[in-house]
Structure 1
Amino acid sequence: MTETESIVYDVVVVGAGPVGENVADRTRAAGLSTAIVESELIGGECSYWACMPSKALLRPVIARADARRVPGLGHLVQGPLDTAAVLAHRDYEASGWKDDGQVRWLDGIGADLYRGQGRLDGPRRVTVTGPDGVRRVLTARHAVAVCTGTRALLPDLPALADVRPWTSREATSAKAAPGRLIVVGGGVVAVEMATAWQALGSRVTLLVRGKGLLPRMEPFAGELVADALTEAGVDLRTGTSVTSVTRDNGTVVAVTDSGDRIEADEILFATGRVPHTDDIGLDTIGLEPGSWLPVDDSLRVQNSDWLYAVGDVNHRALLTHQGKYQARIAGAAIAARASGVPLLETDPWGAHAATADHDAVPQVVFTDPEAAAVGLSLAEAEAAGHRVRAVDVEFSSVAGAGLYADGYRGRARMIVDLDDETLRGVTFVGPGVGELIHSATIAVVGQVPIDRLWHAVPSYPTISEIWLRLLEAYRG
């Protein structure tokens, strides 16, 4: 017979990825007793199957590409990458898929860790059966925070499970480069993994259902990345859907809607994400299992006074850094409500409002060239009814770009609100632009007027001088 143990905490966090860890950190810092529940590795998707391993795979690719464009250096880096060394460093950055360090960190902040599947069991209750067979009922005095994230969405194709397709997990943790790889999708995971594995020795075929890549960014971002992937040897096919996939004697065969038959050693589906909420007991509190959890700006689930949904699971911004931002907001809101604060600071940019989720979300795509954006694209700004003007400048106009790389190719766009002359969005595409995006984020979040930006003088000669070129183009 399974033993049952009941324990009461101020806060129970379900999911110990970066988001859950940060909720626990903030509530513990506020003096609240906190339990955190995790069924897999502490540190979550980002640490082991997403951000860290993918960037470890991509960093040598981008560094080699940059070096090849530097006069006097390019001839030294013409050979192939040392794939074994790259994979070994990837393993190191993923901590060998062991979470000892993350566990020590949780111990350090004083949060109690429970390993096992956490499930809601009515209001303020979470059950978890641990490896020891004990069923524990964790009751929260103030809040339960669901931080379970998302999992890969696979298409509804016949017998797909028999093919054993890659998702982002397999793509970031593979032990060797497949000789031939099909990548299905046109978003961030698809283009980053196509970039990485092509450079590591795979022959990559990239199948994109839509017209181009990176559809959530400005069109020129996807166009420049597509050009670079094609130049690198990727077989890029747009307007193409997969109608069937089989595996025969180890060979994957994908058939497209045009009747093409493509053979490969592996196939990666990077076709979206779904919320990891199908098995966490949502039905016990009247919510639909497998659904996204809509929240207010304090990250509290709608129509609830105790349930919070933080990170990807609320579908506001599926990015680790944005989820950690939400976690800081949620932790502050939970602590404030627990202490009896009568009115939270939920006005725009208040301490308890995740305002940046609405119109100031930054993102970097680590391809060659990099693509980085924050805020609204031109299409999004116009659809929202803003009176705006797009200002475009090529990086070739910046002396620092030519010093950074011979033949530097890139483009920048800022979206100016014509009513108050602040920025609604900024997009950069080019080598090294990921390090520019925080300046743009500050300008967008701070609603810095153009007249004030004019006095923020960029250092010469750096690629950040693109700001001066954008402002000059706007002023005419």
Structure 2
Amino acid sequence: MTEAMEYDVVVLGGGPAGENIVDRTRAAGLTTALVESELVGGECSYWACVPSKALLRPALARAEARRVPGLAGAVAGPLDAEAVFAHRDYGTGNWNDEGQVGWIDSTGADLYRGHGRLYGIRKVAVTSPEGEHHILSARHAVVVATGTRAVVPEVPGLAEARPWTSREATSAREVPGRLLIVGGSVVAAEMATAWQALGSRVTLLVRGSGLLPRMEPFAGEMVADALREAGAVVRTGVEVEAVERDGSTGPVTVVLAGGERLEGDELLVATGRAPRTEDIGLDTVGLTPGDWIGVDESCRVPGSDWLYAVGDVNHRALLTHQGKYQARIAGAAIAARAAGTGDIDTSRWGTHAATADARAVPQAVFTDPEAAAVGLSLAEAERAGHRVRAVDHDMGKVSGAGLYAEGYRGRARMVVDLDREVLLGVTFVGAGAAELVHAATIAVVGEVPIDRLWHAVPAFPTISEVWLRLLEAYRG
């Protein structure tokens, strides 16, 4: 049976970006349908941000407590892995989306569970798990928010070895004795931190020259040093040529270039993401299945007056908060454009251009130490042709850091546009760094002049006093 329904907006994908589209379009009075093939809430809620941070928080809290005089001895023992897993399971709702489905219902949007595919201009075909078929038509917009999936490289034997991806790494219920991790970016670094703290003997195999390649080099260096101190093995410049596994649950062996063999109980592959667009009907609207979907500043697909793409799938910034930001922008744009045919108030949503994706993307990496950055690194700013100066400061020398933890180690850098005397980028590495990055984001987005930043007085005695030290170093 095929049922045809018409809506103002149809959203394909119910992760954070899709949910925010629903929120904005429903608030503007537009009828909206949401199509989701898995769990409402998406990757972030069940296999990425939420469970990973639930695994990481005990590791970071213990690491920081061990540096506090009078407390270190009380946290000398191992983590209670079962308690950590239980907290993670609670955070994910035990992989049950009932709460988020209730929120969708409260907005007045309609939820369609099943596999959705574009079905030509302004149409989405949905096949439910029970085999029912629905054709959804959109009067104003179809929004693709299908996200990304983990990439498993074409290495001989790798697929057959059933490696962990980010999903298995954040949902596993047993601590592997030996965990091999291939990759050097955020997922690899964070999961190395979490599982080493939970009791695994972690070996991190990095093809490139260091960890966290999208940040300032010192960020990856400090995280790698801390992992080594915690007992992990971090090897850079290595190439995996083959993978072998003994039976269905036996040890897994990684063969490196040159023939060296490393054995582990589990293997996590964290080498990148690909768009989940291979089977969503892109070919029916003149796009290529499996490709990223290019968009303009309102997140609308060029050449179309109805098709939008928000979140990871458009490849602008593969971060949950940026996907939600894009959804707010796109939702406002859709509502504003729809207002030509109806009485819809869009004034509360502000501008309709996703400018932050180009120059002010904040990111926090929850390793020990934490690494957080916004805007351009020094190398990126120089490649873009800016006349810049990098100003660094040892965060351990800030008075608040000494009170925060004994032997506090950290580093801060701001990249200054010398022609305009505004910040192009800021990086912090150290305990609590993730909570510092929003102030930097405001400075970068607002293009606050250096002379004005002098009057943003940091509270004493906090680690945020690093701002004062950076400004002093700049003025010299």
The normalised TM-score by structure 2 is: 0.97
Q: Which residue of the partner structure matches residue 34 of structure 1?
A: 32
- In 2, Cα distance between equivalents of 1:475 and 1:303: 49
Matched, 1:4 2:8: no
Contact 2:363 2:374 (8 Å CA) reproduced: yes
Counterpart residue type for residue 279 of structure 2: D
- In 2, Cα distance between equivalents of 1:134 and 1:175: 35
Within the candidate set 195, 202, 205, 1:204 is matched to 202
- In 1, Cα distance between equivalents of 2:231 and 2:39: 36
- In 2, Cα distance between equivalents of 1:429 and 1:231: 16
Q: Which residue of the partner structure matches residue 344 of structure 1?
A: none
Q: Structure 1 residue 340: deviation in Å?
A: 1.9
Give structure 1 stretches of 5+ with no counterpart: 342-348
- In 2, Cα distance between equivalents of 1:124 and 1:72: 64
Matched, 1:394 2:394: yes
Contact 2:332 2:350 (8 Å CA) reproduced: no
Q: Which residue of the partner structure matches residue 263 of structure 1?
A: 263
- State the aligned residue count: 468
Q: Which residue of the partner structure matches residue 378 of structure 1?
A: 378
* 3-state SS of paired residue (1:157): coil
Q: Which residue of the partner structure matches residue 139 of structure 1?
A: 137
Give structure 2 stretches of 5+ with no counterpart: 342-348
Counterpart residue type for residue 419 of structure 2: D
Contact 2:156 2:241 (8 Å CA) reproduced: no
Within the candidate set 103, 110, 113, 1:112 is matched to 110
Matched, 1:422 2:422: yes
Contact 2:292 2:315 (8 Å CA) reproduced: yes
Q: Which residue of the partner structure matches residue 175 of structure 1?
A: 173
Between 158-167 and 279-288, report the one with greater CA deviation.
158-167
Percent of counterpart pairs with the same letter? 74
- In 2, Cα distance between equivalents of 1:460 and 1:410: 18
- In 2, Cα distance between equivalents of 1:38 and 1:248: 37
Matched, 1:126 2:121: no
Task: Tell me the alpha carbon deviations over residues 76-100 of structure 1, each in whole angstroms, 9 at most, x when there is no partner.
Answer: 1111000110011111111100000
Counterpart residue type for residue 81 of structure 1: L
- In 2, Cα distance between equivalents of 1:259 and 1:194: 24
* 3-state SS of paired residue (1:367): coil
Q: Which residue of the partner structure matches residue 161 of structure 1?
A: 159
Q: Which residue of the partner structure matches residue 346 of structure 2?
A: none
* 3-state SS of paired residue (1:166): coil
* 3-state SS of paired residue (2:223): helix
Counterpart residue type for residue 162 of structure 1: E
Q: Structure 1 residue 259: deviation in Å?
A: 1.8
Task: Tell me the alpha carbon deviations over residues 126-155 of structure 1, each in whole angstroms, 9 at most, x when there is no partner.
Answer: 000123432100000000000000000111
Contact 1:81 1:199 (8 Å CA) reproduced: yes
Matched, 1:247 2:245: yes
- In 2, Cα distance between equivalents of 1:230 and 1:95: 34
Give matches, 1:445-464, under 5 Å: 445-464=445-464
Task: Tell me the alpha carbon deviations over residues 404-429 of structure 1, each in whole angstroms, 9 at most, x when there is no partner.
Answer: 01000000000011111110000000
Contact 2:152 2:159 (8 Å CA) reproduced: no
Counterpart residue type for residue 44 of structure 1: G
Structure 1 runs of 4+ aligned residues shifted over 6 Å read none
Q: Structure 1 residue 350: deviation in Å?
A: 6.9
Q: Which residue of the partner structure matches residue 359 of structure 2?
A: 359
Q: Structure 1 residue 157: deviation in Å?
A: 1.4
- In 1, Cα distance between equivalents of 2:160 and 2:323: 34
Counterpart residue type for residue 394 of structure 1: D
Task: Tell me the alpha carbon deviations over residues 25-66 of structure 1, each in whole angstroms, 9 at most, x when there is no partner.
Answer: 100000000000000001000000000000000000000001
- In 1, Cα distance between equivalents of 2:130 and 2:26: 26
- In 2, Cα distance between equivalents of 1:203 and 1:112: 47
Counterpart residue type for residue 313 of structure 2: V
Counterpart residue type for residue 397 of structure 1: K
Contact 1:240 1:258 (8 Å CA) reproduced: no
Counterpart residue type for residue 399 of structure 1: S
Matched, 1:298 2:298: yes
Contact 1:9 1:33 (8 Å CA) reproduced: yes
- In 2, Cα distance between equivalents of 1:418 and 1:254: 48
Q: Which residue of the partner structure matches residue 345 of structure 1?
A: none
Contact 2:35 2:112 (8 Å CA) reproduced: yes
Contact 1:152 1:274 (8 Å CA) reproduced: yes
Contact 1:397 1:469 (8 Å CA) reproduced: no
Q: Which residue of the partner structure matches residue 287 of structure 2?
A: 287
Contact 2:64 2:431 (8 Å CA) reproduced: yes
* 3-state SS of paired residue (1:295): coil
Q: Which residue of the partner structure matches residue 192 of structure 1?
A: 190
- In 2, Cα distance between equivalents of 1:183 and 1:56: 20
Contact 1:157 1:244 (8 Å CA) reproduced: yes
Contact 1:300 1:308 (8 Å CA) reproduced: yes
